[in-house]
Structure 1
């Protein structure tokens, strides 16, 4: 008789453990829920820091778009905090994967633009060196990478920027050289896309 009672207890315990395991997968702890809500709020804060052009690329509902666009007009700290919490609440009803993916794409684009900007600055700085051999190598490197560039204009801008540098004038031609390099790269990228 005792054996059947102990077997019954073991079976009941095993069944309740199985039920608990199924239930455990579906229910989140309060801490997990809070972490997810803070992550949504942080994503909402990141969205508020985007430019209007970047924010237009984010797939959000009109209500959330309106609420996020209202944030800069709120100046009082406690009101701003409540507004951010409301943004986090509204984000629960959004497609978070699509939002996150669009935001990451914008961040990646920003990093690419920054890398391209640094590369252009490096080319310009190499073209403005005192050592003429380095200048020639930098110009040839740029022309090899962008063969459709206007060589004559490039040489003229380099010459004017170097002259400007030697007489301590403001770097207007250096800026023009940078703009020329940037525009040439942009035109090349546009041709590649076509």
Structure 2
């Protein structure tokens, strides 16, 4: 008698990966949410993403549609995403979102630097000059004195804002 449904010892067994219907549905919804995130982006930003023509045209169509038509188009975008590798698209989206978060952190650092300039004066200004060698020491001193005077007299913080804009101009040049 021969063997029944038993592989020979030298034959490799095929590993069958069972995926539940719920898991498949979660994956489809995740791809659809990725598509929704892409639809919310501006066309100039979308050009930088690794998208093929079909997917890009579906996304631009979804951007101009409203209500039920938009919902159906988003489902179509999700369907198109299933036949593509979502990893590079997700990586590009994460990079874009992280860039925004990093920029926010940098602006907060500039605000703290501005406050140090007003509170500490010349010692903080020397730190600024080390960081941004093109900055004008006299201009920063003048703005710091004006900002202190405005704070003491409860005037609108014009110089306070001007210091931030001045520092931001050097930060923008360094990018």
State the TM bucket, normalised to the shorter chain: 0.7 to 0.9
Deviation at 1:72, TM superposition (A): 4.2
Q: Report how far residue 40 of structure 1 moved.
A: 1.0
Which residue of 2 is the match for residue 174 of structure 1?
160
Distance 1:83 1:172, change over 3 A: farther
Larger Rg: 1
Higher helix share: 1
Q: 1:178 to 1:51 in 2, by over 3 A?
A: farther
1:73 corresponding residue in structure 2: 64
Are residues 1:186 and 2:172 paired?
Answer: yes
Please report how far the alpha carbon of residue 168 of structure 1 lies from its aligned counterpart in structure 2 after TM superposition.
Answer: 3.0
Which runs of 4 or more aligned residues in structure 1 lie more than 4 Å from their structure 2 counterparts after TM superposition? Answer: none
Residue-pair matches, total: 172
TM-score, L = length of structure 1: 0.73
Residue of structure 2 aligned with 1:157, choices 124, 143, 155: 143
Aligned pairs (5 A) from 1:23-172: 24-25=16-17, 28-76=19-67, 78-129=68-119, 134-172=120-158
- Residues 138-177 of structure 1: CA deviation (Å, up to 9, x unaligned): 3222222222322222222222333333333333332221
Structure 2 unaligned blocks of 5 or more:
none
The normalised TM-score by structure 2 is: 0.80
3-state DSSP class of the match of 2:29?
helix
